[in-house]
Structure 1
Amino acid sequence: MFNFVGKFFKLLNGDASPGQIALGFSFALFIGLTPFFSLHNLIIFFFVFAIRVNLGAFFLGSAVFALLAFGIDPLSIKVGEYLLNDPDLLSMWTELYQSDVWRAFKFNHTLLLGSVVISILLFIPMLFISRFIVSTYRVRIMKWFEKLKISKMLKASKFYKYYERLGE
């Protein structure tokens, strides 16, 4: 737990741009909220490794969203069930299921479809919110904390040197 919190603050205090960290958290929505062994997750991993995304934020966000997924799964199932049972969309789902490519994505499963839709809907808000949080933290909280006497004392202690060695 201590190591997890330490890595999170090291990520926030690091050199990565807020946009890269925000993209990492946003792509982590898909990996964390959806069932892991899905074809669409290969596509997400491709995007993460192809563009400039902070991998620490991506893997940290994936772990956090995977824990949150247990609470969100009932909602995901309801969304997927609603979409799959909608009479207006029934012919589209039938046509997609006839194609081998779309059948491989397994969007006929309520949990998978619902969690992908929720991840798509939350992607842009997560991008802006996490970028705002990281930028605000770096401008206000980090600089304020560095000026405190207690933080200067902590940086001089053996505890802080141990903390820095954990991050390496």
Structure 2
Amino acid sequence: MLTLLAKMLKVLNSQASPWQIGWAIALGLFVGILPFGLLTLLIVFIVCLLTINLSTFIVVWGLTEGLMLLFADPLERLTWQYAQHDSLLTLLAHNETLQLFHLHHTLTLGAFVLGAILLVPLAWLSKLLVQQYRARIMTSIEKWKIMQMLKASKLFALYEKLN
């Protein structure tokens, strides 16, 4: 757990663009709430084509998969409640592409709609939070005497050289 926290702090303190981290968080959540299938693999393929922080993407994906164990039943019930329109059911049942992506399943459909709705706002909010962290918290921590002493040590120089 501490190594996970250290890796996340390293990403936040790195020179990676806040947008790269923001999109990694948003896409990690999107993939994490989807049940594993062809749709998940398609989004992972898109992630591989984009320039985002892959370690953040994988961490958020794993954390979201764990949270979906708790929220899968309420999301499925909510989707079942709103997906009872004949035209929608006919479209989902007779379109082979949508069947291939398993969008005719209520959990997959609900997770896809929720992920699509949250994608852009979450990416923007994550970018904003990374910028605020770098502007306020990171700069104040670097001013602490103990951090200046650690950065001046040979051990820190060796650590920087290895990375």
Asked if residue 108 in structure 1 is aligned to residue 107 in structure 2, the reply is no
Q: Which position in structure 2 is the counterpart of 1:8?
A: 8
C-alpha distance in 2, partners of 1:50/1:91?
Answer: 35
Q: 1:99 aligns with which of 95, 100, 107?
A: 95
Report the aligned-residue RMSD.
2.3
The amino acid that maps onto 1:119 is G
C-alpha distance in 2, partners of 1:80/1:112?
Answer: 9
Provide closer, same or farther for how the CA distance between residues 148 and 30 of structure 1 changes in structure 2, counting only shifts above 3 A. Answer: same
Structure 1 unaligned residues grouped into runs of 5+: none
Q: Which position in structure 2 is the counterpart of 1:128?
A: 124
Deviations 1:4-29 (A, max 9, x none): 01100011011110001101111111
C-alpha distance in 2, partners of 1:72/1:125?
Answer: 20
* Alpha-carbon offset, residue 150 of structure 1: 2.4
TM-score for both structures, normalised by structure 2: 0.87
Deviations 1:75-106 (A, max 9, x none): 31123212332xxx322322332232221111
The amino acid that maps onto 1:132 is L
Q: How does 1:35-54 map to 2 (within 5 A)?
A: 35-36=35-36, 38-54=37-53
* Alpha-carbon offset, residue 117 of structure 1: 1.3
TM-score for both structures, normalised by structure 1: 0.84
Task: Give the share of equivalent positions with the same residue, in percent.
Answer: 33
Structure 2 unaligned residues grouped into runs of 5+: none
